[in-house]
A and B are shown apart, each in its own frame.
Chain A
């Protein structure tokens, strides 16, 4: 019988039905970071449990690490104490920790794939909602809370209920200047921030087939912003090429055997998807959020919605967003002045993102009123960028070049907005207060659009920007 990848992977990891009716699911890879794990380790200790599978557990530091002055002890005493707690927990329970000295530290969703820890057919859990990122490899990957982190540490299992699967096919070809970020913002704009509740999203279609792994990670990453706890892409040659030679990937004859197994996990033709949504990729334009959730977006050449024209149930939310952002219904998004430009995050902090942004800023200067920073997603991304001279391109343009971490995506380190600042951000959430100032304002967009906004000092259409010769905007 034809099955989806979700069903195949679920069935392979299903242990039994628990007495309460939930499914006990084996977890193949557990990723741990400093923010959602300390209470879980503390309970483990209280109950006298050990970590069941330390060899399937990997930790790093990302949320609270400063991106400047990375010398220990950190200036922020709470950041230092959380770091020390993770170091102590990893030491005591025998868990590998990719810390600042390892050369492999970075955002948990960037380092898992780049080390080859993330592989097709795995179940992957992490105490972070953007764990959906790893679905790009054809894994069933999802975020969990601290009590579930404790469960995975103690038992390598979770009590779960199965999800429906919605296939989202993006057809055609993307226009120049349109990126994976625009695709996922368009999908969330269309299906809504709660449209995916109860679902895993399976991304497919020509546009997704042609995407690189970095691009697939960007769309899977933001599945949770559409309410889908899981997003995935069926594994294919692109997946295998990416994995070959990575430190934790199988090698030699094992790699060939692995490819055969991985290929067989892809959804079968005619699999029983619960529903199928088709989007014309050629119609997607550079997309910018204007509101306080990632579903509130418009094409860069569009105008903000009129609450009065929206369905009755949505009017209050649109009006609240317009008021918070201090925008007017019907105003164009292009031309919105920005104060800060942030390049980074688990959504768009990989090397290809920095390359695209660097292409836009090369030969230009950041607008005098804009504070701009680049935060590579990992130490490996930073090193690769430095080898290619991207750090110099950014520095010469007036960007600050920082160390790896989550940084201004959620502002748990010193990088944060001030007051009412408006930030063009390559990250994933534009919630009120998300970037560290309770009244700060976030516009989500692709890295190339962030770069163009940094130079122009306002939201601009990167497509027209790319058509003009370097220097025209200097």
Chain B
């Protein structure tokens, strides 16, 4: 993670997980947070949802063998709401996903994903409907998320995607791992801290 790489494009098949407000407890249940590493989280992504569907004789998209090699996750509104656990995007990435495209994302989830170099792009509901249907009809269909052109294509579908410009720049320039930038020119940080009375003493007020 220390040598951040430029992320300009993610290419591969997609998998669609439908539903608004899919929270982080559903993405990775809290019992799997009892760990001091992120190893092995990919095995438990969406575990309870997957189990509940199995019990009802249905299949979660992550259990469809044809979707096993998916690189792009398609979701709907407010994906990743709830807790700040980075274990959620970690579990998704460790399952094999390299980018997520959805109608909207919860803010902390979005920030956590960026910190890992996992792009989250937004698209309209209508466009996502078409993309999800295309991926479900043909799990092998290759998707191409092009961050330079802010476009997602799949077969004969091409739709615009968006993300905040600073985020897109971070990914394109390989600056999504910001720690190095934050440690640069540290005297500027010290100047800011020195002006804060709760840091440097109340006699400065």
Contact = CB atoms under 8 A, between A and B. Distances in A.
Contacts of B203: 254, 257
B115 A82 contact: no
Interface string B153-197: 000000000001111011001011111011101101100110111
B37 A197 contact: no
Nearest to A77: B34
Interface string B78-91: 10011111110100
A433 B48 contact: yes
A188 B36 CA distance: 34
B142 interface: no
B106 A194 contact: yes
A35 B86 contact: no
Contact of B182 (A155, A257, A317): A155
Contacts of A316: 19-20
Contact of B178 (A13, A22, A197): A22
Contacts of B26: 431-433
A156 B189 contact: yes
B78 A412 contact: no
A24 B108 contact: no
Interface in B20-50: 20-21, 23, 25-26, 29-31, 33-38, 48-49
A334 to B, nearest CB: 26
B202 A20 contact: no
A469 interface: no
B199 interface: yes
Interface centre among A46, A49, A143 (most CB of B within 10 A): A143
A154 B196 contact: no
Interface string B88-111: 010000000000000010111001
A156 B196 CA distance: 14
Nearest to A195: B78
A18 B112 contact: no
Contacts of A14: 192
B35 A78 contact: yes
A317 B173 contact: no
A438 B52 contact: yes
A381 B123 CA distance: 47
B32 to A, nearest CB: 10
B165 A21 contact: yes
Interface in A368-394: none
Contacts of B108: 129, 142-145, 224, 229
Most central of B111, B182, B188 by chain A CB within 10 Å: B182
B166 A129 contact: no
A331 interface: no
A128 B83 contact: yes
A289 to B, nearest CB: 13
A310 to B, nearest CB: 12
B162 to A, nearest CB: 13
Contacts of A79: 34
Interface stretch (A119-127, A173-181, A417-425): A119-127
Contacts of A121: 198
Contacts of B34: 35, 64, 76, 78-79, 82, 412
Nearest to A163: B107
A258 interface: yes
Contacts of B188: 15-16
B196 A13 contact: yes
B71 to A, nearest CB: 21
A223 to B, nearest CB: 11
A411 B29 CA distance: 10
A118 B49 CA distance: 38
A336 interface: no
Contacts of B31: 411-412, 436
User: Which of B81, B166, B170, B177 gathers most chain A CB within 10 Å?
Assistant: B81
Given A13-B196, A21-B169, A431-B25, A38 B178 contact: no
A432 B25 contact: yes
B5 interface: no
A316 B182 CA distance: 44
B30 A18 contact: no
Interface of B: 1-2, 19-21, 23, 25-26, 29-31, 33-38, 48-49, 51-52, 77-78, 81-87, 89, 104, 106-108, 111-112, 115-116, 164-167, 169-170, 173, 175-179, 181-183, 185-186, 188-189, 192-193, 195-199, 202-203, 205
Given A43-B2, A261-B205, 6 more contacts: A16-B185, A19-B181, A35-B34, A146-B86, A250-B198, A410-B25
6 contacts: A22-B170, A42-B37, A47-B2, A119-B198, A257-B205, A436-B31
- State the 9 A-B residue pairs at the shortest beta-carbon distance, nearest first: A21-B166, A145-B112, A145-B86, A147-B115, A38-B36, A143-B84, A155-B182, A159-B178, A254-B202
